[in-house]
Structures are given as structure tokens and as C-alpha cells.
């Protein structure tokens, strides 16, 4: 199944139509619905022809759309292997690498920036990765509507937007209501793996995760873990190391 490029009437292609801002719900600190906020802004470069073609021609296999009922993972992937969800995969290099190195797992990635989605699909095609699907939609709505309870082996959240100004901290994805929703979707023993290069955000992540009574921190020091070998080192992270930036990994499991 493929999606055609721009037609003779110069109508935007499927990939072009995906380029949009995404509004998500904002909640109070105790998890009550507050209002909609613009959480994501397309500040990446333009969608290249290469990325656009990857999306247009291969979305039928790699792409999933938001729906109002849980995904049937067995039907989607053609097997019963455990599913790991990654939110905000960027350009998708590390996600594709993890899918390639772990054929006994299925990976589902969510990213709102279309250049990254296109690049991820192109990379998956180049490396013949079949155990990966991607979504271009707000993660909050996907978790709420499309992921069945106790259906995920794990959740990966690597280098999310830190919203470093204090007045913007409410826009950070890692909040108590978000973590509780993720826990609900995890199988027994499932994991939450987060990483950030902002120490303030790392402290916030740790505090929120520790508040969840149903989670166990695998850190021997009850805070952070060294970067595990199974999390690929990204180009972004390599650059940070050269500049002397720290990186904090957190790995919690569901009791």
C-alpha cells in the first residue's frame, strides 16, 4: 500500500498533511484536566523529498493512525512478541537500531515531527527492519485511546523537550498523571526507561517516578543508572559528551 505524491491539482501529499502542530491536554498537578496547550511546534527543517517519499510510499506497512479502540498488536506485527513503545524518537536512528538488534521484540514509535518520521521509515527500509511501526500523533491520545491495559513490555522516553524555563515546566511530558497512565499500560515486570541531558529534568523525572508506589527503581543508588549498552548512543548524545554535558538514565520496573 502506498500514498501518492502531490497530484496534478497540486494537492498536498499524505506526508505534507502530517506537518502540523499538535495540541495536547494540560493537567493540574493532581491530574485534573485543565485545558489544551500547544505542546509541539514544528521547528525542524523542511520535509525533504527523500523523507516525504519514504512516508508516502511505505506508510501502509510502517505507519499507524490514531483510532478509538486498542491496537491489535498480534495482527499488526504478525506475532505475539512483546511490544516496546518509544515516545519522541527524533530522527529514529536509535529506535531502528534497537529494533534491528532485538528481533524478538516489537517496537512502536511516536513522533510528531514529520521529518523524523520520514527519516525513521527510510532507515528502517534500508536496514530491512520489520518489527517497527511508527505513529505521527500526540502520545497522550495514543496512550488513552489506542493502547490496551497491560499490553506494553516497556516505555522509552529519551531526551524529551526539557521546557527548561520554570514557567513552562507544566508542559513537560513527565508528570504524575502521565506516569500513572503508562503504568496502567505496562505488563507485570514491564519497564520505564528515561534519559535526559538536563539535570533539572532528571531530578524532576526521578521525583515523579519515585512517587509511583507500583514502580521499583533498579538503580543501586536509588537514583540513576549508567547508560546501558542496549540504549544506542545517539549523535546528539555523542556531541553532548564532547561538550562535557552529563546524561542521566532512569530505569524503573512495574512491581
Residue positions forming the annotated binding site for S-adenosyl-L-methionine: 86, 111, 138, 161
Nearest 5°: CA angle at 192, between 240 and 64?
A: 90
Q: Contact 97/107 with Cβ under 8 angstroms?
A: no
Active site residue 249: no
Q: 3-state class of 47 per DSSP?
A: coil
Q: Contact 216/253 with Cβ under 8 angstroms?
A: yes
Distance separating alpha carbons of residues 251 and 215, to the nearest angstrom: 10
Kindly name the residue from 16, 145, 161, 249 that is annotated as catalytic: 161
Binding residue ranges for substrate: 165, 197, 234-237
Distance separating alpha carbons of residues 244 and 197, to the nearest angstrom: 11
Q: Measuring CA to CA, which residue among 119, 114, 1, 15 is closest to residue 60?
A: 1
Q: 3-state class of 16 per DSSP?
A: helix
Binding residue ranges: 86, 111, 138, 161, 165, 197, 234-237
Instruction: Give Dmax over CA atoms of the chain in angstroms.
Output: 62
What one-character-per-residue DSSP string does 197-248 give? S-HHHHHHHHHHHHH-TTEEE--TTSS-BPPPTTSPPPHHHHHHHHTT---E
Catalytic site residues?
161
Amino acid at each position: 500500500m502506498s500514498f501518492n505524491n502531490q497530484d496534478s491539482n497540486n494537492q498536498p501529499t499524505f506526508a505534507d498533511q502530517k506537518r502540523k502542530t499538535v495540541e495536547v491536554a494540560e493537567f493540574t498537578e493532581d491530574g485534573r484536566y485543565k485545558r489544551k496547550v500547544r505542546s509541539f511546534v514544528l521547528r525542524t527543517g523542511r520535509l525533504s523529498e527523500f523523507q516525504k517519499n519514504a512516508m508516502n510510499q511505505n506508510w501502509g506497512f510502517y505507519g499507524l493512525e490514531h483510532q478509538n479502540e486498542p491496537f491489535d498488536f498480534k495482527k499488526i506485527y504478525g506475532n505475539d512478541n512483546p511490544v516496546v513503545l518509544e515516545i519522541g524518537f527524533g530522527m529514529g536512528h536509535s529506535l531502528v537500531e534497537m529494533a534491528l538488534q532485538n528481533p524478538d521484540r516489537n517496537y512502536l514509535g511516536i513522533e510528531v515531527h514529520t521529518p523524523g518520521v520520514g527519516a525513521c521509515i527510510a532507515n528502517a527500509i534500508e536496514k530491512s527492519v520489520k518489527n517497527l511501526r511508527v505513529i505521527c500523533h500526540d502520545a497522550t491520545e495514543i496512550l488513552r485511546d489506542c493502547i490496551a491495559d497491560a499490553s506494553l513490555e516497556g516505555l522509552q522516553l529519551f531526551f524529551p523537550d526539557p521546557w527548561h524555563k520554570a514557567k513552562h515546566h507544566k508542559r513537560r511530558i513527565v508528570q504524575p498523571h502521565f506516569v500513572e497512565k503508562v503504568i496502567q499500560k505496562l505488563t507485570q515486570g514491564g519497564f520505564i526507561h528515561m534519559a535526559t541531558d538536563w539535570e533539572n529534568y532528571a531530578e524532576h523525572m526521578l521525583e515523579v517516578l519515585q512517587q509511583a508506589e507500583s514502580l521499583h527503581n533498579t538503580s543501586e543508588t536509588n537514583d540513576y543508572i549508567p547508560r546501558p549498552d542496549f540504549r544506542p548512543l545517539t549523535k546528539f548524545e555523542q556531541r553532548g559528551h564532547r561538550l562535557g554535558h552529563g546524561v542521566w538514565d532512569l530505569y524503573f520496573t512495574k512491581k
